[in-house]
Amino acid sequence: MANLSDSWTIALHGGAGVTPGRDYAEVEAHLGRLVDEGEARLASGESAFNTVEWAVGELEASGLYTAGRGSAPNRAGVVEFDASIICGASGRGGAVAALQDVQSPVAAARAVMERTPHVLLCGEGATAFAREIGLPAIGGDPDYYRLAIGVTAEEMRPAGDGLGHGTVGAAALDRQGRLAAATSTGGVFGKRPGRVGDTPILGAGCWADRHVAASCTGIGEHFILAGGAGDVSARIRYGEAAPPEAMRAMLERVASFGGNGGLILVTADGQAHFDWNSNGLKRAAKGSRIARTLAIL
């Protein structure tokens, strides 16, 4: 067993954007439970990679967020998922885009990394791969999906502009000093079939290396254009900026394209950072060297 350090941290998000006046008590309680359990897993020596997959799987399965069970259908009435996961220590990652009919898109992303020579599978090929390796499907179960908290059936209606959105994500540092991140979404509402956002693009919606682990949420088109999590990492890695400044600079680029959103970031020294220029960011963090964070607005 490797020597275990006394530094570990987990950060979670349940998406950018909060509708004023809506009751997010269930979301807050859920994020609180998950961050406590995630921190306990890391304290007991679990890897950051396993912990972020577990946390995002729980967020997907809850139906409380616009990911997994809480996802909105596209214009054709079909739910298409995007997800990614990355291990900063090994530099390996996997992702799926426009994936259909799989209960845990993040598990499919992990399988792409571990069971194929590829990094990203999309569309029919991704769905066929998930079938082939036996990942649990959703099937035709009409009761599977539920409206994510804060989303109305009216808002989920194909709007054309696809402004409503939601995502879940996790970033963690384990006791062996390894960072990992994972992100999963049903994407923006009313999206065209085949539309892919930032979430499955490693370096945009999700990133981890030896310095940081980050997960983004917001209008994916603008995060792709702004460079997202990869831009934040590069600013820190090249010594240009401390994490808060790097995150702000990337979000300012997102804003310059007309978008908004937020991100969570865990650094190798066990700190957790959050920033957003949307109306709130559902978030939580806990670690051996930081105070517990749990907030919506």
Q: Does 219 bind ligand ASP (CB under 6 A)?
A: yes
Among 83, 181, 188, 202, binds ligand ASP (CB under 6 A): 188
CB of 23 to ligand ASP, least distance (A): 20
* Cβ atoms within 10 Å of 118's Cβ, excluding its own: 12
Query: CB-based contacts of 174: which residues, under 8 Å, 6+ apart?
Result: 8, 42, 45, 46, 47, 48, 49, 51, 180
CB of 190 to ligand ASP, least distance (A): 12
Residue 63 region, left (φ>0) first, then alpha (ψ -120 to 50), else beta? Answer: left
Closest to 12 measured CA to CA, from 161, 152, 180, 134: 180
Q: Does 227 bind ligand ASP (CB under 6 A)?
A: no
CB of 161 to ligand ASP, least distance (A): 13
Q: Does 218 bind ligand ASP (CB under 6 A)?
A: yes
Q: Which of 51, 66, 167, 185 is catalytic?
A: 167
Q: Please name the residue that has the structure tokens 């991704």.
A: 126
**Active-site annotation holds for 167:** yes
Q: Which residues in 147-166 contact ligand ASP (CB under 6 A)?
A: 165-166
Q: Does 181 bind ligand ASP (CB under 6 A)?
A: no
Task: State the Cα–Cα distance between residues 287 and 168, nearest whole angstrom.
Answer: 19
Task: State the Cα–Cα distance between residues 223 and 262, nearest whole angstrom.
Answer: 10
Task: State the Cα–Cα distance between residues 297 and 293, nearest whole angstrom.
Answer: 12
Q: Judged by CB, which is closer to ligand ASP: 72, or 87?
A: 72
Among 62, 71, 103, 199, binds ligand ASP (CB under 6 A): 199
Among 57, 70, 94, 197, binds ligand ASP (CB under 6 A): 197
Among 190, 220, 227, 287, binds ligand ASP (CB under 6 A): 220
CB of 227 to ligand ASP, least distance (A): 14
CA atoms within 13 A on the CB side of 33: 8
With contacts defined by CB under 6 A, how many residues of the chain interact with ligand ASP? Answer: 17
CB of 152 to ligand ASP, least distance (A): 16
* Cβ atoms within 10 Å of 161's Cβ, excluding its own: 10
* Cβ atoms within 10 Å of 20's Cβ, excluding its own: 7
Q: Which residues in 240-279 contact ligand ASP (CB under 6 A)?
A: none
Q: Does 198 bind ligand ASP (CB under 6 A)?
A: yes
CA atoms within 13 A on the CB side of 146: 9
CB of 194 to ligand ASP, least distance (A): 13
**Kind of pairing, strands 92-99 and 81-87?**
antiparallel
Q: Judged by CB, which is closer to ligand ASP: 49, or 276?
A: 276
Per-position x/- string for 72-91, each x denoting binding to ligand ASP as judged by CB under 6 A, each - no binding: ----------x---------
Q: Burial level of 37, CB count in 10 A (0-12/13-18/19+)?
A: middle
Q: Which stretch binds ligand ASP (CB under 6 A): 23-31, 137-145, 191-199, 242-250?
A: 191-199
**Kind of pairing, strands 179-185 and 206-208?**
unpaired
Binding site for ligand ASP (CB under 6 A): 15-16, 82, 165-167, 185, 187-188, 197-199, 205, 217-220
> Catalytic positions, please?
167
